[in-house]
Amino acid sequence: MIPRYSRPQMTAIWEPANKFRIWFEIEAHAADKLAELGVIPAESAKLVWEKGDKPYTQDRIDRIDTVEAEVKHDVIAFLTELAEQVGEEARFVHQGMTSSDVLDTCFNVQLAQATDILLEDMDKLLAALKKRAYETKDVPCMGRSHGIHAEPVTFGLKLATFYAEFKRNRDRLVAARDEIATCAISGAVGTFANIDPSVEEHVAAKLGLKPEPVSTQVIPRDRHAAYFAALGVIASSIEHLATEIRHLQRTEVREAEEFFSKGQKGSSAMPHKRNPVLTENLTGLARLVRSMAIPAMENVALWHERDISHSSVERNIGPDATVTLDFALMRLTNVVENLVIYPERMDEILNQMGGLVFSQRVLLTLTQHGVSREDSYRIVQRNAMKVWNREGDLLSLLKTDEDVTARIPLDKLEALFDLGYHTKHVDTIFARVFAD
């Protein structure tokens, strides 16, 4: 991923130094167990740690790259460089193992490491949403369906809705991490013919993984498909919130907007512009992350016990999806924390349509006073259409409609136009959402 949309702590997971370190630990832990089983000398396993347990400096990485340019095999190049460090005892490294044991186990370790960062990101976003939701719990604003004024809500309720959505996403991420954190040290075609299953169990325990129940030389890719699908769902939720903010920031709405810092410029041509550039950026980043779920699903269908058609895909989407989502979650958190909210404008918009937002309550009251639902709908709608045509406000028109006043006394009719009626259960919803 390009630096513009990357954070160092996440990109570090995908750097060669971290990858090779994980490869080394897989091999060294496997050697320890092989020594315990008497397959290799205990002194040899000890020397692997003593001589090979060094930082993967740029010189070491360059050496691996040089060897790979000749042998055209990344794991062999790694083992060659490790042998140069360890010496003769390196012949006992990789006993009974195959390249996929190293590659697949490492990939899952990296995904688990990346997920731990994403979970931290999610917690920060949830905290920001909760804080702003409580700040605006009782700030009324227009609820919309189809983009058209519907009935009143509160801005805090909007944010509570997104909190609940991202809380579900956090649960999905926890489940995805659990599913992806498996280890395969089973040798060629996954039969353990040349390596004892206890080696896999040992390496898995050391790396914080679980043994893969059956790995046909590769870890089954349905696990990875589910993982990247979970990231795609989270990306969609990011776009969901970003789109809400973008709509609210439109000039003719302007109920809320991204923070516009001192010295910031919105347009090279128009000095007045304050554009929702962060949430537009998030919309684009969400598309990228979602797009990576499809190739992950296509990776499930490998030939027989294995092929490597999945490899080139994962070398791209592993870093790109996690790095992009990490950046997007932190950018969204910043947007929420600094979101500028305009309660006065929300109040203006609530009153913009001449009381139309109270039409349902009038409809229901008529039905409770002996009018059929069909006739109640017809009576209220004919008055509402006049409001749309700018012929007055709804309450005034209803007061002159004999079909209404014959059923509902004027004082009760006026009481139907009470904003508090629509927000009386907000506390109940908040108690449900923030029960944790």
Residues 6+ apart with CB under 8 A from 58: none
Burial track 165-186 (b if 16+ CB lie within 10 A, e otherwise): bbbebbebbeebbebbbbbbbb
**Radius of gyration from C-alpha coordinates of the chain:** 30
H-type alpha helices, 136-221: 155-180, 197-207
Q: Which of these is catalytic: 44, 94, 236, 267?
A: 267
Of 163, 220, 205, 195, the closest CA to residue 336 belongs to 163
| 8 Å CB contact between 235 and 174 | no
Q: Which of these is catalytic: 146, 261, 272, 304?
A: 146
How far apart are alpha carbons 230 and 321 in whole angstroms? Answer: 11
Residue 146 is a catalytic residue: yes
How far apart are alpha carbons 203 and 199 in whole angstroms? Answer: 6
How far apart are alpha carbons 103 and 322 in whole angstroms? Answer: 18
Burial track 320-351 (b if 16+ CB lie within 10 A, e otherwise): bbbbbbbbbbbbbbbbbeebebbeeebbebbe
How far apart are alpha carbons 411 and 104 in whole angstroms? Answer: 73
CA distances to 96, 390, 430 from 134, in Å = 58, 37, 9
| 8 Å CB contact between 90 and 48 | yes
Residues 6+ apart with CB under 8 A from 413: 362, 395, 398, 399, 404, 405
Name the token pair of 399. 């007061």
Residue in the block written with tokens 């404008």: 345
**DSSP codes of every residue in 127-149:** HHHHHHHHHTTT-EEEEEETTEE
Residue 236 is a catalytic residue: no
> What are the catalytic residues?
146, 267
